[in-house]
C-alpha cells in the first residue's frame, strides 16, 4: 500500500482551479525542527544513563523530536557512533513502520529471493506466487517503533524501567511471508524472507533478501489466482465437447461465453487436495452493444465440467441435461444511458459534497489522526483492509489503547439448493480467493464523496510480478445526521449537534458479487463495522414450466437460489492495555425479567445480569435478541470516575446461524459458523478461523473450533474476539424489474450489517463537552 504520496481528490464534483489546487494539497505537517537539517541521513536514539540534569532532560526531549524515518542515501558505517553525552547515532534509518504493508520494491525482493533459492531451474520455473504479505512483528516491536522511531512519538507505550528505557539503535528488519505453489510438483510451501536491504533493489542492484525459513505444507491447496481463472476459462472454451454442447444451446460464438472457475470445496475423497481442481459455472452473454453485458442473467445448466488446474486440462465433461438458456431480457443490463428497454431516472438533481477548507483528518504515511482517534491503515492480500493500533485520546488520561488489530478474516457463502451445481456453492471468498487481491480501484466513479485520501495496494501476481491497485482504500469524512439534540419546553430553545464520522473502506469483486467493507469512527467514541452487499445474484436456469422450492423464479426460465452470507471479524482487543499487558476479560450481559413477588409487585421489573466468560469453551456464544444480549471487553485493572472497570461493549446487529444440518459438508470446513461469538487468548499463529488453506480441505474442525478445545483461561488475558455475523437472502420476485442489476443485488434491500458499536464506558468528558467540538 502506497504511503509516500498523498492522494486527495474530490469525486463527482465539477472542479474549479481552486478545487484542483486544494485536491493535490495534503494537510500541512508541522514544520520539523531546524536542527534536523544538520542530521540529513541520520537519526538519533537515546540511551539510558545516570540521573540526568534538567539541562540533559531538556536536550533529550529535543532529541526525541529528531527520531524520524529518513530515506538512506548510501550505506552508512557498520557500527554505531556514541557521543560523550550518551547519544547513539543510528547506523541505518528506519524508512517503513513495522506495520506498513509491503512496498512494491519489498515484494520484488521477496519474490526474487525465493526464486533464487530454488534448487534447480525446473523448480524455479515452476514457482507460482500465491501471496506475499508482511510478517507482522511482535507487539513490543510495534510499541518500540511508535514510542521512539515514528511520529507522533509515544514513549508512554513502553513500560517504565529504573533509569529509563534502553532504546536500541534500530528496529528489527522487516520480513515477508510467501505462499508459493509449485506447478510441477503440486506442492505448497511457506517461505519467510528477511528484507534487510531492500533499498539495493530500488537502486538497480541485485536482491538482498535472506531466506529465514521454508517448509512444505502437505495435503493442502492454496487459494486460486486470477491468472488461473483466465487460463481455465480459455481451456474450457477450447474444449471440443464443450463447444458442441454450447452449439446445442444455440451458441457458437465463444466470446459470449463466461466460465467462472469455482473451487470444488470438499464433498468426498474425489475432492481431496492431491489434485488442484475447479468446477466452473457457465454463463452466456447475448449479442449486445451494451458496454457491460450482464451474462449472469443467462446461466447455462446441465453441463458438468471438472478442470485439473495444475495441468490446465479438462478431466471430466458431461452434457447431462439440455436446459434452454433463459430468454434475453431487455432489462438485464446495467450500463447507464444504454437503450435496453428501460428508462434511467432523470429527476434527481446534483448533490455536491464539498470541504472548502480541506478535511479534518491528518495522514502521515499510513498513520491517521481524526478528532480524538488515531490508528494505522494496513492491507493484506487475504483480508484486505486492516486497522492497527486503534486508540482514543481522552483528556488528562492521554492516549488510551482500544484494539491492536481489526479486520475481516473470512467469509463463507453457502447455498441452500440441493440440486447440481448449486449444492457445491459454498465459497470461502477470503481463504479460497483473497478479499484484498480481488479489490479494485476506486478512482473511477463515486465510491466515496467529498475530500478523499486514497491508498494504493501492491500484490504479487501468479508469476511473481508486482501489480498495483491504485486508490484501493478510501479515507473520508461523512455527515451522519443528528448526533444529539434537546429542546427546553419551558424556553423553546433547542440545542443540536450534527454527527460526523470518519470512514475507511475498500470494495472487492468476487465473481458476481461485490462486497464493500467499512470501518466507521464516530465522535462519541463508537466504532462501527459495516459490510454492504451488492452486485449480481448467482442464478440458475429452469425448464419451461419448472419451479423450485429452494429459490425464487424472478424471470421466465430464471431463478435465484436461497443462500446465506457469513463474515468473520477478528478483533485483537487491547482495552486500556499497553503492549505486553494482558489485563482484559469478556463479560456477557443479558437482560432478565424479575420474578413476580415482593421485589416486583407491579410485574414491570427487569435488570441486566453479567456473567464472566472464564474459558474458551464457555465463550462459544450466540446472539439472543430476546435478552438484548451483548458482550463487554473489560480492563481488569483500570476504573472510570464512578469506580467501575473500564471497557468496550460489542453490540450485535441483526444476525443468523447456518440453515444446514449438522452433517452438512461445508460445515466440515466452516465449523466456526456454528456460533456467533468465539473468544480466544491472543496467539500469533491463530489468524484464520477455518485454517489457512480451506480450499479442498478435508479436515474436520481445523482452525478456531480446534483452538478453543484447549479451553484456555480468559479471566485475565490478551483477548481476541471472533464475531460471526451474516444474512439469509431469500430473493424476491419484485427484485428483478425494479432497477438494472441493483434490483437483484443487496443494495435494493439496504442490507447493511452493524458488526459492533464499541462504546467507551469510562468517558471522562461530559456529553455536552464532547459534543461541543462538533457544532
Mean pLDDT for back-to-back runs of 10 residues, the chain (775 residues): 50 41 42 33 30 41 33 34 36 74 95 94 96 96 94 86 77 96 97 76 60 96 96 98 97 95 94 96 87 86 97 97 87 63 74 90 97 97 97 90 96 95 93 95 79 95 96 95 94 95 95 90 90 88 90 89 94 93 96 95 96 98 95 93 91 92 92 96 96 91 92 98 92 45 23 32 32 32
Task: Give catalytic status of residue 522 as yes or no.
Answer: no
Task: Return d(Cα 166, Cα 747) in angstroms, integer.
Answer: 54
In DSSP terms, which residues pair with 188 in a beta bridge? Answer: 181, 217
Q: What pLDDT sits at residue 94?
A: 60
Q: What pLDDT sits at residue 337?
A: 60
Asked if 400 contacts 393 with a C-beta cutoff of 8 angstroms, the reply is yes
Angle between helices 226-237 and 240-248 (to 10 degrees): 70
Asked if 91 contacts 169 with a C-beta cutoff of 8 angstroms, the reply is yes
| Residue 513: C-alpha distances to residues 285, 410, 508, 713 (Å) | 17, 15, 8, 40
| Residue 290: C-alpha distances to residues 91, 338, 444, 499, 742 (Å) | 60, 6, 19, 41, 17
At residue 681's C-alpha, the angle toward residues 675 and 682, to 5°, is 110
How confident is the model over 690-739, as pLDDT tens digits? 999 999 998 876 899 999 999 999 999 999 999 999 989 888 654 442 22
Catalytic residue among 100, 146, 394, 429: 429
Identify the helix (H) or strand (E) that includes residue 698: none
Task: Give catalytic status of residue 572 as yes or no.
Answer: no
Give phi and psi for 740, each to the nearest 5: -60, 125
How confident is the model over 239-267, as pLDDT tens digits? 999 999 999 999 999 999 999 999 999 99
DSSP H helices in 586-718: 666-669, 704-707
Q: What pLDDT sits at residue 56?
A: 41
Catalytic residue among 266, 334, 451, 513: 513
Task: Return d(Cα 515, Cα 406) in angstroms, integer.
Answer: 17
| Cβ-based neighbours of 94, under 8 Å, separated by 6 or more | 43, 69, 145, 149, 150, 170, 171
Identify the helix (H) or strand (E) that includes residue 5: none
Q: The C-alpha cell of 667 is what?
A: 460445515
- Going by their DSSP bridges, the two strands 281-284 and 299-300 should be labelled as antiparallel
Domains contained in the chain, CATH given: 104-156+171-217 (3.10.450.40), 226-333 (3.10.450.40), 361-759 (2.70.98.20)
Amino acid at each position: 500500500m502506497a504511503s509516500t504520496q498523498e492522494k486527495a481528490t474530490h469525486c463527482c464534483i465539477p472542479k474549479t482551479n481552486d478545487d484542483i489546487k486544494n485536491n493535490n494539497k495534503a494537510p500541512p505537517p508541522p514544520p520539523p525542527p531546524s536542527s534536523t537539517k544538520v542530521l540529513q541521513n541520520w537519526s538519533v536514539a537515546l540511551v539510558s544513563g545516570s540521573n540526568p540534569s534538567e539541562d540533559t532532560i531538556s536536550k533529550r526531549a529535543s532529541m526525541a523530536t529528531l527520531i524520524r524515518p529518513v530515506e538512506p542515501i548510501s550505506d552508512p558505517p557498520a557500527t554505531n557512533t556514541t557521543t560523550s553525552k550518551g547519544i547513539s547515532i543510528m547506523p541505518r534509518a528506519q524508512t517503513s513502520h513495522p506495520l506498513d504493508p509491503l512496498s512494491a520494491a519489498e515484494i520484488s525482493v521477496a519474490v526474487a529471493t525465493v526464486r533464487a533459492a530454488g534448487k534447480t531451474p525446473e523448480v524455479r520455473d515452476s514457482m507460482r506466487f500465491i501471496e506475499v504479505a508482511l510478517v507482522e512483528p511482535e507487539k513490543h516491536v510495534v510499541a518500540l517503533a511508535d514510542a521512539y522511531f515514528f511520529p507522533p512519538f509515544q514513549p508512554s507505550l513502553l513500560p517504565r524501567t529504573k533509569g529509563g528505557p534502553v532504546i536500541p539503535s534500530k528496529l528489527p528488519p522487516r520480513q515477508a511471508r510467501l505462499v508459493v505453489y509449485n506447478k510441477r510438483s503440486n506442492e505448497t510451501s511457506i517461505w519467510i524472507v528477511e528484507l534487510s536491504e531492500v533499498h539495493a533493489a530500488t537502486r538497480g542492484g541485485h536482491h538482498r533478501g535472506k531466506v529465514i525459513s521454508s517448509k512444505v505444507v502437505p495435503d493442502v491447496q492454496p487459494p486460486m489466482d486470477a491468472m488461473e481463472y483466465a487460463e481455465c476459462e480459455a481451456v474450457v472454451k477450447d474444449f471440443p465437447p464443450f463447444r458442441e454442447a454450447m452449439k446445442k444451446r444455440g451458441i457458437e460464438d465463444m466470446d459470449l461465453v463466461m466460465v467462472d472457475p469455482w473451487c470444488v470445496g470438499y464433498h468426498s475423497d474425489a475432492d481431496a487436495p492431491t489434485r488442484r481442481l475447479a468446477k466452473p459455472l457457465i454463463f452466456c452473454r447475448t449479442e449486445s452493444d451494451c458496454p457491460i453485458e450482464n451474462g449472469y442473467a443467462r446461466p447455462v445448466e446441465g453441463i458438468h465440467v471438472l478442470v485439473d488446474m495444475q495441468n490446465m486440462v479438462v478431466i471430466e465433461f458431461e452434457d447431462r441435461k439440455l436446459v434452454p438458456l433463459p430468454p434475453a431480457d431487455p432489462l438485464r443490463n446495467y450500463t447507464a444511458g444504454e437503450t435496453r428497454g428501460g428508462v434511467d431516472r432523470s429527476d434527481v438533481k446534483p448533490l455536491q459534497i464539498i470541504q472548502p477548507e480541506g478535511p479534518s483528518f491528518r495522514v502521515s504515511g499510513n498513520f491517521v489522526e481524526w478528532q480524538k482517534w488515531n490508528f494505522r491503515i494496513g492491507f493484506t492480500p487475504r483480508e484486505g483492509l486492516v486497522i492497527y493500533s486503534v486508540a482514543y485520546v481522552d483528556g488528562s488520561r492521554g492516549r488510551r489503547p482500544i484494539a491492536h488489530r481489526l479486520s475481516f478474516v473470512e467469509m463463507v457463502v453457502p447455498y441452500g439448493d440441493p440440486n447440481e451445481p448449486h449444492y457445491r456453492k459454498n465459497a470461502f471468498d477470503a481463504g479460497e480467493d483473497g478479499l484484498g487481491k480481488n479489490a479494485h480501484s476506486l478512482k473511477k466513479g463515486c465510491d466515496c464523496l467529498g475530500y478523499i485520501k486514497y491508498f494504493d495496494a501492491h500484490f504479487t501476481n501468479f508469476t511473481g510480478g508486482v501489480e498495483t491497485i491504485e486508490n484501493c482504500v478510501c479515507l473520508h469524512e461523512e455527515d451522519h445526521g443528528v448526533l444529539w439534540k434537546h429542546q427546553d419546553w419551558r424556553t423553546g430553545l433547542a440545542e443540536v449537534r450534527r454527527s460526523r464520522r470518519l470512514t475507511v473502506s475498500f470494495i472487492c469483486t468476487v465473481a458476481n458479487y461485490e462486497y464493500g467493507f467499512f470501518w466507521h469512527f464516530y465522535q462519541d467514541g463508537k466504532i462501527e463495522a459495516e459490510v454492504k452487499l451488492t452486485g449480481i445474484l448467482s442464478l440458475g436456469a429452469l425448464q419451461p414450466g419448472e419451479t423450485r422450492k429452494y429459490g425464487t423464479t424472478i424471470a421466465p426460465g430464471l431463478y435465484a437460489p436461497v443462500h446465506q452470507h457469513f463474515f468473520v471479524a477478528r478483533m485483537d482487543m487491547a482495552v486500556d492495555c499497553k503492549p505486553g499487558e494482558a489485563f482484559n476479560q469478556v463479560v456477557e450481559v443479558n437482560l432478565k425479567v424479575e420474578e413476580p413477588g415482593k421485589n416486583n409487585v407491579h410485574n414491570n421489573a427487569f435488570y441486566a445480569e453479567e456473567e464472566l466468560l472464564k474459558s474458551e469453551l464457555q465463550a462459544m456464544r450466540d446472539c439472543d435478541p430476546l435478552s438484548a444480549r451483548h458482550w463487554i471487553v473489560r480492563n481488569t485493572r483500570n476504573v472510570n470516575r464512578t469506580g467501575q472497570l473500564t471497557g468496550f461493549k460489542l453490540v450485535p446487529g441483526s444476525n443468523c446461524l447456518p440453515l444446514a444440518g449438522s452433517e452438512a459438508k461445508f460445515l466440515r470446513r466452516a465449523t466456526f459458523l456454528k456460533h456467533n461469538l468465539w473468544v480466544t487468548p491472543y496467539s500469533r499463529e491463530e489468524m484464520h478461523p477455518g485454517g489457512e488453506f480451506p480450499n479442498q480441505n478435508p479436515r474436520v474442525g481445523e482452525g478456531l473450533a480446534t483452538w478453543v478445545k484447549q479451553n484456555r483461561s480468559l479471566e485475565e488475558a490478551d483477548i481476541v474476539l471472533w464475531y460471526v455475523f451474516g444474512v439469509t437472502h431469500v430473493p424476491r420476485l419484485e427484485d428483478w424489474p425494479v432497477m438494472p442489476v441493483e434490483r437483484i443485488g443487496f443494495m435494493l434491500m439496504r442490507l447493511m450489517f452493524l458488526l459492533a458499536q464499541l462504546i467507551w464506558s469510562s468517558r471522562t468528558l461530559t456529553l455536552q463537552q464532547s459534543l461541543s467540538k462538533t457544532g
